[in-house]
Structure 1
Amino acid sequence: MRKTKVSVHHERLQVSSEILRAIAHPLRMKILEFIDRNTEINVNKIYNTLGLEQSITSQHLRILRLAGLVDTERDGKYVHYSINYEKVGGTVEGVKRFLEKSRVLQK
């Protein structure tokens, strides 16, 4: 049996797990896809177009915002949401690196 030294950076692991947990929900993925198609959109358009309750939409947007996956900009009484592509891209790259390392270790 091969022993492999694994180095875990606990703070990064915590951040990564929060991001993946935020992405893992089907409704949040649907919201992210909708924001992506519209570049920037307010919460009213999101819940009206997707047929969701306002409170549920706001809860899911809060999770996405806390994970850093969406950015907000206030315009009067409206809050506009946009995708934080840098954070999303970093997450995708992190997952790719993890999968590549996992394949190497399995060989």
Structure 2
Amino acid sequence: MNSLQIRLDKKKLERAAYVLKSVAHPIRISIIDLLEQRERLSVSELQEALQIEQSLLSHHLTNMRDKGVLDTKREGKNVYYFLTDTTISHIIDCINGCRNF
């Protein structure tokens, strides 16, 4: 009988768990999906697309930025958000590929 073993590096597992915890909310996954479609978006563009209150959006954006999932760039009066690591967008691909969701 073959013995079972964990096939993933411990650091990769820890990083995956950290990232998944930080985006484990429908709004946050939607933000990732929107930023996958466009390289960067302003708060007003995200708010328009998500149709949620600005305070709720700011809460999610701040949390994702604090966790290192998003970063910002200021241009004039606008602050633009972008993904720090585009490999996180594979989560969206996995969700879309799963028939049971």
Tell me if both proteins adopt one fold, taking TM over 0.5 as the criterion: yes
The aligned amino acid for 1:32 is I
Q: How large is the Cα RMSD of the aligned pairs?
A: 2.8
Give matches, 1:25-104, under 5 Å. Answer: 25-85=25-85, 88=88
Question: How many positions carry a matched residue from both structures?
Answer: 90
Q: Per-residue CA shift, 1:53-106, capped at 9, x if unaligned? A: 1011111011111111112101122110111126738xx7xxxxxxxxxxxxxx
TM-score using structure 2 length: 0.67
1-structure distance, mates of 2:77, 2:13: 36
Task: Specify which structure has the higher proportion of helix.
Answer: 1
Percent identity over the alignment is 30
State the 1:27 CA deviation.
1.0
Q: For structure 2, list consecutive stretches of 5 or more residues without a partner in the other structure.
A: 1-9, 92-101
Larger Rg: 1
RCO comparison, higher one (Cα < 8 Å, 6+) = 2
What TM-score comes out, normalization by structure 1 length? 0.63
